[in-house]
């Protein structure tokens, strides 16, 4: 949910830079829902280009792209991608196994900052950006899920700058789709496939269905303010998501719709050297189950849609960073901690998924820390007609680590990531 605030952060200040990096990831978990072990790599590139016209408007085009490959082992229960987004509308089995994931991500946009004369504000600003993510998740032994995820999103903002702060209102619209097919090649038969309608209960009438299609919309609005250099940062945003799960047979059968309302707030203070902030999220998650009657002629008669799962989730967290200038280069230390818990009302239908339910709903404490060291590897001073322009290329590397402890289930997981790249 804090995504909107991060979008603004990268737009308003010049902390974002053009950089190319690679990273390697390795992690382990005692919790099986996402695998007991995972590792992978990613290649990322972010670019920003600023230019101005004769009316002194400042224009910025920006783009991001990344490719991520990941392999996990020991996955159990869930055969979906994005289980944290989709639960409890999950497709599950009791066999599981490691999964291969490939992810492609693109984002590009434009921002304009136009100074205003004779106005109480200094400048008017707006931006628009288009983002697309595609993911493929698969396994090569039975059960063989093949998940194809597409997420298209547009975000736009309008705002102004006054004195040393910028203020923006942001709108976000997104479309989400996931095809979730499970195949079995064994001639002997198949393991059971379950379609959850609650975190510990399946829609047993549709247990034999192996193809599911998720589709939905994401909308969000937000407000944020932050300084150009030093000052307070604050943000508030609301996001509404609706995703429907359909089962595919000879006809499409919607079995449930997940609706979430999320509110997040952030407040802090930043300077060019250090930054602290605290944030809080609230998320209401509800599932409206499609209740069916007679199914003559493959035509399922819809009796009603009824809310049968309700969850309120809360998260609070804090973030801090400090940048230390060194004789050569600079080093940035960052750390974050958060706590998340939830309350659930649901109609439990079986004990088969109680372990999964505990894993999904357990309160958890997470901490993350990273150190980024960047130092110049190439430096050039260039005199133009009117001003001095300095160009440099820096190399950076950043080890990062994260640890999460699930207080109810006593599960724990950790992950380390090593980034290396160059920035301009």
Partner 1 sequence: MKHLTYILFFLFALTACQPKEVEDKVEVALSIVLPEMGGAKVQFGEASVTVKDLNMGKVSTQNIAQLTDSLRLQLTRGYYDIELKATVHVAGKELLLRGYKKGLPVTERTIGSLVCNLSSGSDGWVIAEIFFAGTQTPEGKNYIGDKYVVLYNNSSDTLYADGLVLVESKLKNTSKYTLTPDFRSEAIGADALYRIPMGEKQYPVAPGKRLLLVDNAMNHTQANSNSFDLSKADWEWYDQSTNPNVTDVDNPDVPNLEKIYCYTLTIWGPNNQGNTSFAIGRLPDSLSIDTYLTKYKLDYDYINVTSAGTFNMTATTYLFPNEWVLDAVNLCPSDTYQWLVTDISLDAGYTYVAATGSDKTRFGKSVRRKTTITVDGRRVLQDTNNSTDDFQTAQIADPFFFN
Q: What is the 3-state secondary structure (H, E, C) of 77-127?
A: EECCCCHHHHCCCCEEECCCCCEEEEEEEEEEEEEEEEECCCCCCCEEEEE
Among 184, 228, 269, 314, binds partner 1 (CB under 8 A): 184
Q: Does 291 bind partner 1 (CB under 8 A)?
A: yes
Q: Does 284 bind partner 1 (CB under 8 A)?
A: yes
Contact track, partner 1, 223-262, x by CB under 8 A: x------------x-x-x---------xxx------x-x-
Number of other residues whose CB lies within 10 A of the CB of residue 238: 17
Query: What strand order describes the sheet that includes 77-78?
Result: 77-78, 91-93, 194-198, 201-202
Q: Exposure string (b/e) for 119-143, b if CB count within 10 Å is 16 or more? A: eeebbbbbbebebebebebebeebb
Contact track, partner 1, 309-328, x by CB under 8 A: -x------------------
Helix (H, G, I), strand (E, B) or coil at 67: strand
Contact track, partner 1, 120-159, x by CB under 8 A: ----------------------------------------
Choose between 188 and 390: whose C-beta lies nearer to partner 1: 188
DSSP-derived pairing of the beta strands 211-227 and 201-202? unpaired
Smallest distance, partner 1 to C-beta of residue 179, A: 15
Return d(Cα 273, Cα 322) in angstroms, integer: 6
Q: Exposure string (b/e) for 56-95, b if CB count within 10 Å is 16 or more? A: eeeebebebbbebebebebbbbbbbbbbebbbbbbbbbeb
Judged by CB under 8 A, the chain residues 256 through 275 that form the site for partner 1 are 259, 261, 263
> Residue 239 CA to chain centroid, in angstroms?
13
Q: What is the 3-state secondary structure (H, E, C) of 202-217?
A: ECHHHCCCCEEEEEEE
Helix (H, G, I), strand (E, B) or coil at 324: strand
Among 54, 120, 188, 384, binds partner 1 (CB under 8 A): 188
DSSP 5: H
Q: Applying CB under 8 A, which part among 37-45, 122-130, 174-182, 184-192 lies near partner 1?
A: 184-192
Q: Applying CB under 8 A, which part among 115-123, 129-137, 306-314, 357-365 lies near partner 1?
A: 306-314
Q: Does 292 bind partner 1 (CB under 8 A)?
A: yes
Choose between 48 and 212: whose C-beta lies nearer to partner 1: 212
> Residue 340 CA to chain centroid, in angstroms?
16
Q: Applying CB under 8 A, which part among 50-58, 64-72, 292-300, 314-322 lies near partner 1?
A: 292-300
Choose between 292 and 396: whose C-beta lies nearer to partner 1: 292
Q: Does 353 bind partner 1 (CB under 8 A)?
A: no
The binding site for partner 1 (CB under 8 A) comprises: 169, 184, 186-192, 197, 201-205, 207-208, 221, 223, 236, 238, 240, 250-252, 259, 261, 263, 284, 286, 288, 291-299, 301, 303-308, 310, 345, 347, 349-350
């Amino acid at each position: 949910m804090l995504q909107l605030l991060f979008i603004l952060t990268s737009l308003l200040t010049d902390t974002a830079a053009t950089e190319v990096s690679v990273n390697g990831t390795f992690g382990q978990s005692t919790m099986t829902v996402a695998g007991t072990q995972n590792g992978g790599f990613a290649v990322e590139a972010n670019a920003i280009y600023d230019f101005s016209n004769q009316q002194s408007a400042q224009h910025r085009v920006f783009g991001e792209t990344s490719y991520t490959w990941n392999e996990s082992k020991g996955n159990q229960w869930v055969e979906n991608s994005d289980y944290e987004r989709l639960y409890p509308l999950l497709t599950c089995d009791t066999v599981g196994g490691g999964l291969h994931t490939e992810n492609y991500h693109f984002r590009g946009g434009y921002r304009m900052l136009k100074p205003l004369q004779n106005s109480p504000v200094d400048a008017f600003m707006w931006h628009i950006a288009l983002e697309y993510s595609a993911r493929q998740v698969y396994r090569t032994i039975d059960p063989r899920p093949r998940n194809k995820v597409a997420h298209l999103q547009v975000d736009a903002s309008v705002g102004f700058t006054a004195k040393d702060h910028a203020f923006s209102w942001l709108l976000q619209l997104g479309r989400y789709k996931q095809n979730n097919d499970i195949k079995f090649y064994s001639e002997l038969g198949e393991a059971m496939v379950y379609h959850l309608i609650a975190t510990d209960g399946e829609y047993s009438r549709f247990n034999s269905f192996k193809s599911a299609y998720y589709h939905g919309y994401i909308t969000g609005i937000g407000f944020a303010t932050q300084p150009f250099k030093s000052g307070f940062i604050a943000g508030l945003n609301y996001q509404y998501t609706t995703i429907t799960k359909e089962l595919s047979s000879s006809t499409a059968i919607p079995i449930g719709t997940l609706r979430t309302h999320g509110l997040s707030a952030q407040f802090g203070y930043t300077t060019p050297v250090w930054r602290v902030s605290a944030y809080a999220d609230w998320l209401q998650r509800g599932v409206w189950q499609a209740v069916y009657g007679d199914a003559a002629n493959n035509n399922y008669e819809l009796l009603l849609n009824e809310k049968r799962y309700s969850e309120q989730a809360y998260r609070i967290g804090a973030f801090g960073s400090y940048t230390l200038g060194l004789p050569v280069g600079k080093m940035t230390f960052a750390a974050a901690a958060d706590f998340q818990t939830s309350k659930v009302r649901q109609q439990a239908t079986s004990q088969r998924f109680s372990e999964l339910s505990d894993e999904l709903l357990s309160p958890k404490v997470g901490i993350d820390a990273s150190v980024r060291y960047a130092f110049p590897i190439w430096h050039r001073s260039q005199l133009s007609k009117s001003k001095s322009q300095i160009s440099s290329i820096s190399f950076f590397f950043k080890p990062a680590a994260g640890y999460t402890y699930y207080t109810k289930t006593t599960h724990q997981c950790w992950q380390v990531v090593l980034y290396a790249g160059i920035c301009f």
